[in-house]
Structure 1
Amino acid sequence: MARHIDYGNLMHTAMRGLIKTVLQDVAEHGLPGKHHFFITFDTSHPDAELADWLSDRYPNEMTIVVQHWFDNLVVTDDGFSITLNFGNAPEPLYIPYDAIITFVDPSVEFGLRFESGEDGSDDQPPEPEGHKPEERTESKDAPKADAQVVRLDTFRK
């Protein structure tokens, strides 16, 4: 049996740890400055907890905004719970870190996207994104561009 270093899963673990650290700071001190988050998560994840009407409305994924009004942010080792306002109705949510699909802070143009493999396992490292979450229009069947090797001495004077 060949042994290998699973960089994809190690990277996912590290980036989820980053999200945990950021949320823990927000839970203790509030959102600093203009920081706010768009968090897209898998609503069908077995450990995600949300009201039935929300899971019916968003059966696959949902994006929440943590900005002006949120309450009861509690950060644990496996996920976080938060109460958000949906049409003047406060709703508690529990989101496991491994249910997170994207985490974006548009105030500083920071974003992470967690890709998962065809078999459902996460095998790609998170991909930095721009300042806003966007849908990808790239077809899975589209041909991939070949990698190019660039010699560093091309840029030396």
Structure 2
Amino acid sequence: MAKSIDYGNLMHQAMRGLIQTVLEGVARDGLPGSHHFYITFDTNAEGVDLPDWLRSRYPGEMTIVLQHWFDDLQVNAEGFAITLNFGDTPVRMAIPFDAMRTFVDPSVEFGLRFESHAEDDDEEEDDDPEPDPTPPQDAQVVRLDRFRKS
């Protein structure tokens, strides 16, 4: 039995499931109303499939917009594939959910931000944090009576 409940991992799985459900609905029915998405992802993450010229143009991360023109959106449990227009050139790309950094629907002020596992691993490896440069000070009690108006 586990020593504790991994809420972070459970929340990450739930957010991935939410995005999968939303994108499946869009693939089936199109974007409803004024909904549109900004999706930022790590272009170097495992499983990201995009042309080399696009990866070199966006070497770390890239934000795509699903709004007016997109084609052939396909969604599965691992991620999604889509064709987008770049300078009048249709480009097919595949993005795993694990590569996503943010998912935003500004039409309803909704957004999700995903922390990378690499950042989490770095924090766990830091067993000996640097000491706080400011020494602890005794607490000071401030009497509010001296600030009251008579």
Q: TM-score band (shorter)? A: 0.7 to 0.9
Query: What's 2:25 paired with?
Result: 25
Q: Is residue 2:5 matched to residue 1:5?
A: yes
The aligned residue for residue 86 of structure 1 is 86
The one-letter amino acid of 1:53's match is: W
What stretches of structure 2 of length at least 5 have no aligned partner?
124-150
Alignment of 1:1-157 (within 5 A): 3-116=3-116, 119=119, 121=121
TM-score by length of 2: 0.77
CA distance in 2, matches of 1:79, 1:118: 19
* Residues 110/119 of structure 1: CA separation in 2 closer, same or farther (3 Å cut): closer
Q: Extract unaligned runs of 5+ from structure 1.
A: 124-157
Larger gyration radius, structure 1 or structure 2: 2
CA distance in 2, matches of 1:22, 1:2: 32
Counterpart-to-counterpart distance in 2, 1:7 and 1:24? 25
- Counterpart of 1:60, as a letter, is G
CA offsets, 1:36-87, max 9 Å, x none?
A: 0000001000100001001001111000000000001000110000000000
TM-score norm. by structure 1 comes to 0.74
- Change in Cα spacing, 1:102 to 1:70, as seen in structure 2 (3 Å) is same
Q: 3-state DSSP class of the match of 1:48?
A: coil
- Percent identity, please: 66
